[in-house]
Amino acid sequence: MRLVKLLANLGYGTRKEVQIAIRNGWVTDRAGNALKADARTAHDDILFDDEPLDPAQGMVLLLNKPVGYTCSTKDQGRLVYDLLPDRFRYRKPVLSTVGRLDRDTTGALLFTDDGTLLHRIISPKADVPKVYEAVLDRPLKGDEAALFASGTFLLDNDEKPLLPAELEVLGEKHARLTLHEGRYHQVRRMFAATGNHVTALARVKIGNLTLDGLEEGKWRLLDAGDLAKVFGE
């Protein structure tokens, strides 16, 4: 791929803006040699403003999402993309969230520009479990674990029962819930159906991938080992 197209696809600017950057000598190889617009230098050997390029297509990153951010590129207010470098919004193929977390839910959120990988993660066939921790308004009654694990639990306005989910009691008003599907506001609706209300909710694990010390509002790129953890390997 020609250098101009490569940089534009990575979000470093429009083709015109990238051409200006190249003419100004801001795009070099690792030896410091300015590159030409038609250069076919290896991706890993290219620097933009003395910094290595972002990963090529197939990039996956993990964000520790704070409260108050929406998983959208167009909604009003604060968006999860505001927590990433601006150029990530303009990558081609587009960098998409892998599923969604609602505005008031925090924790592990994946992004990728690999459509095949995205669909593999969210596919029911992959059975990638998601683990949530919920803080509740009222004490647990004691029958929630059996109810959620039954495979017959039906939410309001749904015609299909939920898949069995595992509940671990962490405190009087604190629980960890492992889901094997992803329905709209599922955790909140499950507890609401028992007469309770979720006051705080965080996704703490996707497959075997955890936030592992990642600070709230921060992100990191994932490698092959991380992706293996997503699929429980």
What CATH number should be reported for the domain holding residue 94? 3.30.70.580
* Co-location of 178 and 109 in the same domain: no
Which residues, at least 6 apart from 111, have a Cβ–Cβ distance to it below 8 Å? 59, 60, 61, 62, 63, 84, 88, 95, 96, 97, 98
Residue 163 DSSP symbol: P
* Co-location of 213 and 190 in the same domain: no
Closest Cα to residue 169, out of 200, 204, 207, 139?
A: 139
* Co-location of 25 and 136 in the same domain: no
* Co-location of 193 and 81 in the same domain: no
Q: How far apart are CA 161 and CA 189, in angstroms?
A: 13
pLDDT given for residue 49 in this prediction: 95
pLDDT given for residue 89 in this prediction: 92
Closest Cα to residue 136, out of 200, 202, 43?
A: 200
Q: Which residues on adjacent β-strands are paired with residue 97? A: 111
Catalytic residue (choose from 49, 75, 102, 158): 102
pTM (2 d.p.):
0.94
* Co-location of 32 and 147 in the same domain: no
Instruction: Give residue 22's domain range.
Output: 3-52
Q: Which residues on adjacent β-strands are paired with residue 210? A: 205
Angle at 207 between CA 203 and CA 210, to 5 degrees: 55
CA–CA distance from 175 to each of 38, 171, 186, 190 (Å)? 57, 7, 15, 12
Whichever domain contains 45, its CATH number is 3.10.290
Q: How far apart are CA 109 and CA 146, in angstroms?
A: 28
pLDDT given for residue 96 in this prediction: 96
* Co-location of 36 and 84 in the same domain: no
* Co-location of 69 and 24 in the same domain: no
* Co-location of 183 and 86 in the same domain: no
CA–CA distance from 77 to each of 82, 117, 220 (Å)? 10, 29, 24
* Co-location of 82 and 189 in the same domain: no
CA–CA distance from 209 to each of 59, 86, 134 (Å)? 16, 26, 19
* Co-location of 77 and 178 in the same domain: no
Which pairing describes strands 198-206 and 105-112: parallel, antiparallel, or unpaired? parallel
Number of domains in the chain: 3
* Co-location of 184 and 140 in the same domain: yes
* Co-location of 65 and 112 in the same domain: yes
Per-residue pLDDT tens, the chain, 233 aa: give them. Answer: 789 999 999 999 999 999 999 999 999 999 999 999 888 899 999 999 999 999 999 999 999 999 999 998 887 899 999 999 999 999 999 999 999 999 999 999 999 999 999 999 999 889 999 999 999 999 999 999 999 999 999 999 899 999 999 999 999 999 999 999 999 999 999 999 999 999 999 999 999 999 999 999 999 999 999 999 999 87
Asked about 102 being catalytic, the answer comes back as yes
Q: Which two tokens stand for residue 172?
A: 């009087």
